[in-house]
Copies of this chain bind each other. A is one copy, B any other.
Amino acid sequence: MLKKTLLSASVALATMMSTTAFAAENVDLLITDATVLTMNADKTVYQQGVVAVKGNKIVAVGEASLADDYKAKRVLDVDGDIVMPGLINTHTHASMTVFRSLGDDVPDRLHRYIFPLEKKLVSRDMVRIGAQLGNVEMLKGGVTTYADMYYFEDEVAKTVDQIGMRAVLGETVIKYPVADAANAEEGIQYALNFIEQYKDHPRITPAFAPHAPYTNTTEVLQKITKLSLEHDVPVMIHLAESDRENEVIAERSGGKSPVAYMADIGALTPNLVGAHVINVDDADIALLQKYDVGIAHNMSANIKSAKGVSPALKMFDDGLRIGLGTDGPMSGNTLSTIDEFNQVAKVHKLVNQDRAAMPPVKVIEMATIGAARALHMEDTIGSLEIGKLADIIVIDTQAPNMVPMYNPYSALVYSAYATNVKHAIVDGKVLMQNRDILTVDENSVREEALLFADKVRETVIASGEEVR
């Protein structure tokens, strides 16, 4: 009996081996000789690893020997470079690249500088031109998915469709008159039309983006919550970000924090993604966890504006859905979350007075699977696992700043530049190869942005402000 079993086993093994040798599975892309950071639950890392892609999905991830099982239309030997999930930027305003760095350190900049400028210059053209530039910058910096909040989001959607990236695009709702809506109600209608238009797009998720609790009424926030549940779309909002917000909401709610107020009015749901989330106490954090809210942590923008440091480490350690974001280019000011890594790792060490706090692996988790969780997309993106969508980036480890590499997480967090991203694959398609974007013409994107910048300069000067 023992003998028979052994015999069967060896026959089975021989059959399997011959299958492997003579009937390798056809795939579209095979990445080989990679330092693969899977970002799966075990944080498995493969040296000389392999990733196989068929159509828009990952069909295999593992050791070098796995390569023998596949016959690929295209093989990408990356010679030891890091292969990891595409980065997910959980909060930005891509179109604002055309305003990047304007009036950077002006006090009360939002109300004194940004809002008036937007009133004069936001248009379909501006949104398209700015988003194009933002897309190029993000893709070159390894961002394959981003969450955007702005106006005319259907224009942003067209640019995302064209370049081939993935995005959650939130149409702004705010109580002031803005370029694409005279009031919040019109904003909601604009959003509904946009949602209808893009609800079936394979790479674009349309969403509501109420600007903030204090810039919308309770009724509007409640209506958006209801509609988001009906249409099953995300709601993105700036939350617990500023002193001004604290004051307005406290007055409105009889002393409540923004998060407690949002819970009270029924606006905390699993569809919600809150950006910033700086001014929260333990009770607020418990509420965010209870309602399964996603959180975008934008360290760089938050410290630049001296707003403070979000308790992101506690939220991460408590298991909340939290990922990294860059905020918009008037705040961040660049759009790759690689630029956040260093600051996230270091500033949390500083404020916790602990050099072991926020180790690199947590930062990379917040940039990938954590960010996917923040957007409730962890079933499809955020890690390199069988069955997930093939959003993959390759990081050059031969650049002098990346040599030598003892620990890939540490090298990424403390040493990498956004410009070390070499290739980017989204939905199974190579969108960037050796830093050349294959789907749009980077030069014409830049030229259009530079032309628009001249208009911005003229407008600022005409308004009596300085271009500074």
Contacts and interface: CB of A to CB of B under 8 A. Distances in A.
B350 A303 contact: yes
A244 interface: no
Interface string A333-351: 1111001001101110110
Contacts of A415: 100-101, 333-334
A105 interface: yes
Contact of A406 (B304, B342, B418, B453): B453
A345 B137 CA distance: 22
B101 A407 contact: yes
Nearest to A418: B417
B404 A349 contact: no
Contacts of A420: 419
A359 interface: yes
A405 B336 CA distance: 18
Interface in A288-338: 300, 303-306, 308-309, 332-336
A202 interface: no
A356 interface: yes
Contacts of A102: 406-407
Contacts of A452: 404
Contact of A104 (B109, B347, B414, B417): B414
B140 A414 contact: no
A309 B415 CA distance: 21
Interface in A409-448: 410-411, 414-415, 417-420, 442, 445-446
Contacts of A332: 414
A133 B405 CA distance: 13
A350 B406 contact: no
Given A104-B410, A356-B105, A414-B101, A346 B346 contact: no
Given A101-B414, A415-B101, A449-B404, A346 B303 contact: yes
A172 B79 CA distance: 38
A446 B403 contact: yes
A300 to B, nearest CB: 7
Interface residues of A, number: 71
B308 A350 contact: yes
Contacts of A308: 350
A327 to B, nearest CB: 12
A347 to B, nearest CB: 6
B401 A334 contact: yes
Nearest to A308: B350
A309 B349 CA distance: 12
Contact of A467 (B343, B401, B407): B407
A354 interface: yes
A400 B105 contact: no
Contact of A107 (B136, B339, B355): B355
Nearest to A304: B346
12 contacts: A97-B404, A101-B411, A102-B406, A305-B349, A306-B353, A347-B347, A398-B446, A401-B418, A404-B453, A407-B467, A407-B468, A417-B417
When A and B form their complex, which 9 residue pairs have the shortest distance between CB atoms, in order from nearest?
Answer: A404-B453, A137-B400, A333-B414, A419-B419, A303-B350, A101-B410, A306-B355, A303-B346, A306-B349
